[in-house]
Amino acid sequence: MKSRASLKSHPLHPILVSFPIAFFVGAFVFDLLSLVFSKPSLQATGYHLVIAGIAGAVLAAVPGFLDFLYTVPPESSAKKRAAQHGLLNSGNLVLFIVIFFLRRNSSLALPVLVVLEAMGVAILSTAGWFGGTLVYRNQIGVDPRYAGAGKWKEEVLEAKGGKVKVARIDELAVNQMKLVHVDGKRIVIARSEKGYAAFSDHCSHRGGSLAGGAMICGTVQCPWHGSQFDVHDGSVKAGPAKTGIETFSVEEKDGAVYLQV
Ligand code: FES
């Protein structure tokens, strides 16, 4: 599903992570070469790459944290994976900050420094593996377009008295969806040939975001493992999901669509 921290549908976090990866790995490589070839001058490059890596990691963490909060579906397998990804990267950042201070005080022997940096690179690689799964399998930050999907629509709303206006009657085309956040609940507003429908964004299989999936002929398909649900009554049309999804009543009145929560 589309990242809120993006520029014209291009998520920022995957672009920015290239910098800390390159700088931290570069620091390790220069210090290792310094150790192997007994060239102390190479350590100066390593030292500056550590500083650049820390700055890059802090910069990349900002959109990453926003994605964790707002893009990764709550109570899903991806949320756990994203938490592990974030914790590993935070641990790595702390490790390189410690390395920086120890280097600045010249209190670290080169072999110890190389071992610590190798540990950092190993942590970074593991975190990167999780990050790859989040993007390429869980499609975090991906903004897919099936026929008739239109542009990604997302809105934060407040329900007063249990009823809330969620769309203009002509806002969505047939087969188009919109994700609304109503009092902390993620609800998908969809328009099928039969009219408007509202259902939980949470796939009953492993918590994939249905708003990030595809909808056609009154059926929504989860982007993660392909479960299909009827958008009007929430029943399962195809597995692996075994239980249906929660649906909500909608009312079309005076040119607007109202959701009852
Ligand atoms: S999370 Fe597996 S099909 Fe939706």
Residues 29, 69: one domain? yes
Same domain, 131 and 164: no
Looking at ligand 1, which atom is closest to the CA of residue 241?
3
Ligand 1 proximity of 191 Cβ (cutoff 6 Å): no
**2 CB near ligand 1 (under 6 Å):** no
Model's pTM, two decimal places? Answer: 0.82
E strand map for 214-260: 214-216, 219-221, 228-230, 236-238, 247-253, 256-260
Ligand 1 atom with the shortest distance to the CA of 76: 1
Collapsing DSSP to helix, strand or coil, 242 comes out as: coil
Domain residue limits at 30? 6-136
- Each residue's pLDDT, cut to its tens digit, for the chain (261 residues) gives 888 888 888 999 999 999 999 999 999 999 999 999 988 889 999 999 999 999 999 999 999 999 999 999 998 999 999 999 999 999 999 999 999 998 888 777 899 999 999 999 999 999 999 999 999 999 998 887 877 777 788 888 887 777 888 988 889 999 999 999 998 889 999 999 989 999 999 999 999 999 989 999 899 999 999 999 999 999 999 889 999 999 999 988 888 899 987
Q: 111 and 199 in one domain?
A: no
**Pair (118, 240) in one structural domain:** no
SS3 183: coil
Q: Are residues 11 and 126 in the same domain?
A: yes
Q: Give the number of domains in the chain.
A: 2
Q: 65 and 29: one domain?
A: yes
Of 166, 175, 122, 182, which Cα lies nearest the Cα of 146?
175
CB of 250 sitting under 6 A from ligand 1: no
User: Do 131 and 168 lie in a common domain?
Assistant: no
Residue with tokens 């974030």: 86
Tell me if 239 sits within 8 A of 183, measured CB to CB.
Answer: no
Q: Is the CB of 225 under 6 A from ligand 1?
A: yes
Residues 45 and 76 in one domain: yes
Q: Are residues 24 and 124 in the same domain?
A: yes
> Do 100 and 185 share a domain, yes or no?
no
* 177 neighbors 222 (Cβ within 8 angstroms): no
Residue nearest to atom 1 of ligand 1 (CA): 206
Q: Which residue out of 80, 199, 224 has the highest number of ligand 1 atoms within 8 Å of its CB and is therefore the one to mutate?
A: 224
Q: Ligand 1: does its nearest atom lie under 6 Å from the Cβ of 223?
A: no
